[in-house]
Amino acid sequence: MPLPAPPTFALALLMAFLNPHLAAASQPQPVVPAYQIAALEDWLDLNSPWPRKQARPQIRLVSQGQANALTGRAGRLGVTPRAFYDPAKSVIALISPFDPHDPYDLLVVLHELVHHRQHGAAHWYCAGAQEKSAYELQSQWLAERGLPDRINWIAVILEAGCTPRDIHPD
């Protein structure tokens, strides 16, 4: 009588649970490494008027189409957005492609972390009112690294003014 085949799947599963290194290797990697988030939060602790929140926001990578569907808009400030912060869910959605080693992509995370700190910390007449201070911090972070900012300040000021859009006489 032949011997039964060894239960290779069950054995592999058991080994994965017994060996934490194998189990950890199968876990999805975060979009932004924890050490980078910590460095950005530390920088904001020194440079931002808003305190760090106890709970970090979730960070997700989404496509441009998913972002448009989630926000209901294609972009503000005359550019395609790179990310957005959902204060109701405490989620930062980074729009693909995203490279955590590119300082300009990491800058997007910094900008959204500012919004995470701003939420509930002050009264804002409109969501756009938060943008000026977020972009100022973004510009400062870039300057400290010797990198030029690519900010359309006119658009930022207009957004921060909370003025109605598309004002035309009838």
Percent of the chain with pLDDT over 70: 74
Considering the domain boundaries, does residue 159 fall inside one? Answer: no
Give residue 6's pLDDT. 45
Considering the domain boundaries, does residue 120 fall inside one? Answer: yes
* Total domains in the fold of the chain: 1
Give the sheet arrangement for strand 83-86, strand by strand. Answer: 58-62, 91-95, 83-86
Considering the domain boundaries, does residue 34 fall inside one? Answer: yes
Residue 79 DSSP label: S
Reading the block at residue 47, the tokens are 């440079």
Domain containing residue 99: CATH number: 3.30.2010
- Residue with structure tokens 């002050």? 122
pLDDT digits (tens, 9 = 90+) for 101-140: 999 999 999 999 999 999 988 888 888 889 999 999 999 9
Residue 69 — pLDDT band, cuts 50, 70, 90?
Answer: confident
Cα of 141 vs its chain's centroid, Å: 16
Considering the domain boundaries, does residue 1 fall inside one? Answer: no
Considering the domain boundaries, does residue 142 fall inside one? Answer: no
Residue 17 — pLDDT band, cuts 50, 70, 90?
Answer: very low
Distance (Å, whole) CA 142 – CA 170: 44
Considering the domain boundaries, does residue 145 fall inside one? Answer: no
pLDDT digits (tens, 9 = 90+) for 41-58: 999 999 999 999 999 999
Residue 79 — pLDDT band, cuts 50, 70, 90?
Answer: low
Cβ–Cβ under 8 Å, residues 93 and 117: no
Residue range of the domain that includes 70: 29-125
3-state secondary structure 119-131: CCCCCCCCHHHHH
Distance (Å, whole) CA 120 – CA 99: 30
Give residue 115's pLDDT. 94
Say whether pLDDT at 20 is over 60.
no
